[in-house]
Amino acid sequence: MRNNAFIVLALALIACLSPLKAQELLNYPLDTVNGEEVYRYEVERSIGLYRVGVNFDVPQSEIIRLNPQLRERGLHYGEIILIPTKRPVIIQSEVKVLETIVTETVVAPEPQPAMVDSLAIDSLATDSLAVDSIVPDTRRVVELALLLPFESRQTKRSVNAERMMEFYQGALLAIHDLQNDSTLYRLRVYDSERSERRVAALCDSTELDSVQAILGLVYPIQIERMATWCEQHKVPLLLPFSDDLELEHHPYILQFNSTDEQEADSLCAWLKTRDAHCVVVEVRDEDLSASVRTLRKQMRVHGIPYTALGLQDLMADSANYALNPEKENIILLHSDRYQLVRMAIPHIAKLQEDGYRIRLISQFSWTKENLRVPTVYTSLFSSNALREEYDELWKTYFSDEHVSETPRYDLLGYDLMQALVAWLQGEQQHIGLQSPIRWQQVKQGGYQNACVEVVTY
């Protein structure tokens, strides 16, 4: 009978958890300030101090005590404030350094995987993809580490945690395919959760001393600490999601996500190939996204002219003056809020009915909606039809269902693990099943994935 690793992983992780209080389930980074355990909370839109206190079940006076600046000016959207956890302070000397880090060494199988009778109760559950061979191996050993927020201490797992599991499964399949006659690849897996303290404990231990490369970490609060460790130990760290690290200061970082400037430059290069007229629809609100601001700036840098159009004109069906009837009109909605896009779409559709050729520069998330307007967006992912062998391998070890849609997190885990090993072998370019990658150095610092594609449909 085949093992369903997805279910086994989730059940075994939950089985070793103790019951948690409701407040311990809050998904915010934990930290210790002046001996007091606190949450680091990023202030959301349209929320006041009273509502924050209710959400965290703490008095407003306690929040102001930790954030005295709020007494005079109140909350600002996007700032980080400290919230007391209402839990007793744990003296550091009483805690085992790696007490809250779930860890396991996993190794992909030989052609005929050996079976094991039992697993350590505190490890990540595995299937035959993740067992050590009982036969002595004389191959060169390369040790890799994977750090992702599996939320192993949570009693209720989130969709994000399930996606992390898929990422992990894809990474396991990459390890399976990497094995060869001269090299044995081992993978250490850690639950990084959302706390800086977890990563700090790992860095202060000897757990990673033999690791040659690391894949993972999601939250910026954790990355700076690990980046420092990687520079000290000369170990590359591939970040699969973050895109706001100052790479020029971190020479051992590989950042998969593209920057706003890269995406804007790709769009501008595409726009230069079109005989088109650009229209920027002004949406004057506080939600103007950084990516849209950057795109407008780069359009000016690249000398791409555009006509500014007010949202009120579009909504009143009086936008004809801003359009060119002889060219394709490419419209940039000056907001990243889909609710505004949804309101504008019927009016853009009416312009189509009036005979104007329209195309919309879209946010990636909008593509799941039925916009009924041709769109263009930038993406790090491309379709690769040569995936049959991978899909068969997935069905052999796991199920044939996936939590994520586009992009597929299992394919991302597979591609980035393969790309990390390629980097260790001196290759700065890798074409994966879903993600083409070309590393480009930022000044004298780390490396950025330069493969950004313009997708049209």
Reported as a single tens digit per residue, the pLDDT across 15-44 is 333 222 323 335 577 777 777 888 888 887
Number of domains forming the structure of the chain: 3
Last residue of a domain, one of 33, 63, 86: 86
- Which of 178, 136, 155, 112 minimizes the C-alpha distance to 23? 155
Residue 454 in domain: no
The CATH number linked to 248 is: 3.40.50.2300
The domain spanning residue 80 has which CATH number?
Answer: 3.10.350.10
pLDDT value of position 310: 83
Q: What is the layout of strands, in order, in the sheet containing 328-333?
A: 306-310, 276-282, 328-333, 357-361, 375-379, 453-456
457 within a domain of the structure (yes/no): no
How far apart, in whole angstroms, are the C-alpha atoms of residue 245 and residue 224?
8
Backbone angles phi, psi at 165, to 5 degrees: -65, -40
| Residue 105: pLDDT band with limits 50, 70, 90 | very low
pTM score, two decimals?
A: 0.68
Domain end point (choices 379, 405, 429): 379
pLDDT tops 60 at residue 166: yes
Residue 267, classified by CB atoms within 10 Å of its CB into exposed (0-12), middle (13-18) or buried (19+), is buried
Query: Do residues 354 and 441 share a domain?
Result: no
* Last residue of one domain, picked from the residues 363, 379, 395: 379
Span 385-401, average pLDDT: 81
Kindly state whether residues 51 and 64 are assigned to the same domain.
Answer: yes
Query: Does residue 455 fall inside a structural domain?
Result: no
pLDDT in the model for residue 421: 97
State how far the Cα of 96 lies from the Cα of 197, in Å rounded to an integer: 12
Same domain, 247 and 105: yes
Residue 190 located in a structural domain: yes
Residue 20 DSSP label: -
Identify whether residues 197 and 163 lie together within a single domain: yes
Range in 94-98, 132-136, 338-342 the model is least confident about: 94-98
Q: Which residue's entry shows tokens 């005929």?
A: 112
Q: Are residues 210 and 111 in the same domain?
A: yes
What pLDDT does 189 receive? 92
- Both 352 and 434 in one domain: the answer is no
Q: Please tell me the distance from the alpha carbon of residue 444 to that of residue 246, in angstroms, as a whole number.
A: 12
Highest mean pLDDT of the ranges 11-25, 339-353, 404-418 = 404-418
Domain that includes residue 119, residue range = 1-21+97-256+386-449
Q: Which of 174, 182, 13, 194 is nearest to 106 (CA)?
A: 174
Q: Quick one: 228 and 338 in the same domain? A: no
Q: 27 and 51 share a domain?
A: yes
Q: Which helix (H) or strand (E) holds 186?
A: strand 183-191
Both 209 and 317 in a single domain? no
Enclosing H/E stretch for 330:
strand 328-333
Identify any residues that bridge with 440 across adjacent strands, giving them in sequence order: 448
